[in-house]
Amino acid sequence: MKKNIVLLQARLDSNRLPGKVLLPINGIAMIDLQIARIHKAKKIEGLIVAVPDTAENDKLHEHLSNNAINTFRGPLDNVLKRFVLASEKFPSHAIIRLTGDCPFVMPSLIDEMIEVFEARDIDYLSNTIQETFPDGLDIEIFKTSALKRLSIMSLTEQEKEHVTLGIYSRPSIFSISNFESSVNLGELRWTVDYSDDFEFVSKVFNYFKGRESDFGIEDILEFMNRNPHIQNKRSAKYRNISLKSSQ
């Protein structure tokens, strides 16, 4: 059994920006840029993209397979079940959950959070319980055993759709912890849900063309300081809007 694997949740049929994960940036599909950055993390032992088993997502599955990326296909709306089934096929002690709308994922942050997760010996670690990192640098790490414990509980449809909601909303059952940024950057939006987001992210990647996998948080902040006219038109209030709108 592997120690830590990444399960990257991705689909093509998003409501706000359909097909976004395959949109080209610098001539490369956005999800390929994200995967290349994830592979820079030193403490992960595998990466699997969890893709819905619907016809609309066949193109994504084919694209990933053609690029020798491990995939697992499961239910569209019951994402929790998709993760549970994927964890059975690709067993590991812990899962790092990432989503395909966060191409700026920071490999050094993944490694740092894995170190903290292991040192604290907890069920769940996230940098989103208190939002001190930019929206788009979201990382969740949890024990596979915690995911399986959750899956046999009586859950709401919302908890089935949002994989970890049932874990961090039950602090009396699961041991959870938050990972905070030394500087509060929670008002920044670096994710991709809308065309405005994609435009901003594309401009950043274009600035770092040729080293798309190598820039970090400080590099993006410096780019923004030097180019104050290049900002995301969407504000932080749109963070996790699909989850908030269903509550």
Q: What is the DSSP letter of 129?
A: S
Q: State the average pLDDT for the chain.
A: 94
Radius of gyration of the chain (CA): 17
Contact 203, 161 (CB under 8 A): no
CA distances from 184 to 130, 132, 219, 225, 238 (A): 10, 5, 16, 16, 17
In terms of C-beta density within 10 A (0-12 exposed, 13-18 middle, 19 or more buried), how is residue 141 classed? buried
Residue-wise pLDDT tens digits, 132-154: 999 999 999 999 999 999 999 99
Segment 9-33 mean pLDDT: 96
The predicted structure's pLDDT at residue 14: 87
In terms of C-beta density within 10 A (0-12 exposed, 13-18 middle, 19 or more buried), how is residue 114 classed? buried
Percent of the chain whose pLDDT exceeds 90 = 91
| Count of CB atoms situated within 10 Å of the CB of 5 | 22
Residue-wise pLDDT tens digits, 197-234: 999 999 999 999 999 999 999 999 999 999 999 988 77
161's CB contacts (< 8 A; 6+ apart) are 77, 78, 79, 80, 246
Q: What are the start-end ranges of the H helices in 102-215?
A: 107-120, 144-151, 157-161, 165-168, 195-207
Domains assigned to the chain: 2-245 (3.90.550.10)
